[in-house]
Amino acid sequence: MQIAKVRGTVVSTQKDPSLRGVKLLLLQLVDEEGRILSEYEVAADIVGAGVDEWVLVSRGSAARQILGNEQRPIDAAVVAIIDTVHVEDRLIYSKKNQYR
């Protein structure tokens, strides 16, 4: 999985019928030091992530292992909202500090 920051949303009316009601978030990938990368992903969200939160994104067939997504033509999904990222003894990210 990759660490990503929720940046925005993508809205579509004309789409594969199975995508109705699926929230699509625009995520920007984050490196292991917490820097925003230029790579992005549009991912289906079922965990209710909000803008600026850090999340884990799964790509490929993993995105369809989520209840309800099994037959959707999606190749990326938010699978977790991140509380903390530790690299060795350093706290790289904490959701609590972020929103304090």
Our CB check for its own copies shows the closer of 87 and 98 to be: 87
Rg (CA), the chain: 14
Residue 21 touches its own copies, criterion: CB under 8 A: no
| C-alpha closest to that of 2 among 82, 83, 67, 87 | 82
Restricted to residues 68-97, the positions that interact with its own copies (CB under 8 A) are 71-77, 79-88, 90, 92
Cα–Cα distance list, 44 to 19, 34, 82 (Å): 9, 22, 16
Is residue 2 within 8 Å of 32, Cβ to Cβ?
Answer: no
Using CB under 8 A, pick the residue from 13, 21, 99, 100 that binds its own copies: 13
Instruction: Write the single-letter amino acid at 61.
Output: S
Residue 51 touches its own copies, criterion: CB under 8 A: yes
Q: Which residues bind its own copies (CB under 8 A)?
A: 1-3, 7-16, 18-19, 24, 26, 28, 31-32, 38, 40-43, 46-48, 51, 56, 58-66, 71-77, 79-88, 90, 92
